[in-house]
Amino acid sequence: MFLEQFSKDKGQLGSIEVICGSMFSGKTEELFRRLRRAQFANQAILLVKPSIDERYASEEVVSHVGQSWAAQRCQQAQEILEIWKGEQIVAIDEAQFFDPKIVAVCSELANKGARVIIAGLDMDYLGQPFGPIPQLMAIAEYVSKVHAVCVDCGNLAHFSFRTVAQKEQVLVGAVEKYKPLCRSCYQQNNP
């Protein structure tokens, strides 16, 4: 039964994987690790990033530690289907910034046989579920939650604490605007 799921006779079966966690938890590094393995296996890869994310480079996904990978930029989720040329792997970084249609787009890609690997923040700076990530986690075959280290106490962190006064939900930034905190330190910083 298990072997039949991966049978070549029945065609390539797609899947959805979600890598989620706070800022500085290694989501993009884990995405790159999976892409390197696929690249080693000579699998065709499409890496997509939202147009709003230009923190380090316009045409690349760049991790906080400086690793990079060439990427296509998309304004809307539907554009991913337009640029997909049948690559076996479709990787999407910072998926929380895409519109809600990203859920249907990922389902369609997986139904067509692609392995869809998504990385994104699961919570916003207020500790609330962020954008389409909860729905993507619900439809995914595999979910990996990664953690940062709390910069205040050293415990595992899963909150992205905003260090600037802006209140809008979407505020693209890095260490100049956010720090990872554990639940206890997050509560102490939010009286």
Per annotation, catalytic residue among 79, 94, 108, 168: 94
Cα 17 to Cα 72: distance, rounded to the nearest angstrom: 19
> Dihedrals φ, ψ of 50, to 5°?
-70, 145
Burial class from Cβ neighbours inside 10 Å (0-12, 13-18, 19+) for residue 168 reads: exposed
Cα 90 to Cα 141: distance, rounded to the nearest angstrom: 15
94 is an active site residue: yes
- Just list the catalytic residues: 94
